[in-house]
Amino acid sequence: MEQAPQEILTEAHTTRECDKLSIELRLSDIDPPLPDPTRTIYRDIVNLPNPAKLGLTIRYFNHDDVGLYFQITGSGTGYTFGTVNLGLLGSGADAYVNLDEFASRARPSASDLPNGEMEENITLILKAYTDSGYTNLKWTFERVVTVHWINSADPAFTVDVLNNFDDGTVQDWAYVVEAYPATPVTTFGVATDYVLSAPYSLRLDGSWSAYTGEFRYRLYKSFTTPNKSKVFAIIDLRFWKSGTVGVSNFKELRIQRDDTILVKIGNYVAAAGDIVPEGKWLRFVVPLPPNTTLEFRIITRDYYQGASGAGQQLCRRLDDFKIISK
């Protein structure tokens, strides 16, 4: 979801181009001094709510010699951005934060996307203050991000794969539990409780008893992509919890092709508190390489704090998975 081709440093104090960055905003796990990879946000307008809301995970750094209070906002034509106070970050430290519904804009219409595509830019603005009241600005870091809109219903695109599970099967999807302190109780199949196209969505639920630690699930399926110049996967997911015994949290979501991370929401920590948004459908759009056989992976890293009893259940739904090309 988060992505960017360009970054610009501006500061409340003047610096030379060769000066070390005092604060920094990144959209990957890559550590400085290696450059942050180029990113682009891809979005599909089909059945998207209006206004369309945007969330992303950022990673921010304090390279200054003192602790600073960080704030994130943004700007872009037609967009409304929130302003989020991130609190104190110590000297030399970095932190991740997921910004749910951070920005919104009117959903583009089909006529706005000639031949099914359109690009625009937004700017992420990271600020650092010396005081907890956010009045004494010391540094500003701006990063320009490209947003690439597509219309998957446009005749320019071919729908090569549609997994809507409406035949009552899992349509060759599978799962594996990659990490667990104790064997979870897993339910895998189709469900009717939350769907985008009736009557079914894909269901993957897990629950535990008196154990504490990380439970990591991988939902996966292999595909061979079409030999076209542009190939996209469109993924609609929903997460929520069921039951009240114990503490369970969705800490991190990764969407991958084989071992390559395409989208990451949150960052796993062994502590209570949700990071991945719950109780609503989340859409992700990712580019795929053409004419390639790959394993498409949806990985959740969950934290469970043990309690006696049946345990809380962490619920996942997938529906209307598509691969399109042109």
% pLDDT > 90, the chain: 77
Answer whether 6-150 and 158-325 agree in fold: no
pLDDT of residue 114: 92
Per residue in 180-232, pLDDT (tens digit) is 877 788 999 999 999 999 999 999 998 876 678 888 999 999 999 999 999 99
Confidence class for position 249, pLDDT limits 50, 70, 90: confident
Per residue in 155-180, pLDDT (tens digit) is 999 999 999 999 999 999 999 999 88
Confidence class for position 84, pLDDT limits 50, 70, 90: very high
Per residue in 14-71, pLDDT (tens digit) is 233 334 689 999 999 899 999 998 889 999 999 999 999 999 999 999 999 999 999 9
pLDDT of residue 272: 78
pLDDT of residue 135: 98
Average pLDDT over residues 285-301: 97
pLDDT of residue 308: 54
Instruction: Judge whether residue 310 has pLDDT over 60.
Output: no
- May I ask the CATH architecture of the domain 6-150? Sandwich (2.60)
Phi, psi of 116 (to 5 degrees): 85, 10
Q: Domain residue spans in the chain?
A: 6-150, 158-325
Average pLDDT over residues 260-271: 90
Fold that domain 158-325 belongs to in CATH: Jelly Rolls (2.60.120)
Listed in sequence order, the residues at least 6 apart from 16 whose beta carbon sits closer than 8 Å to its beta carbon are none
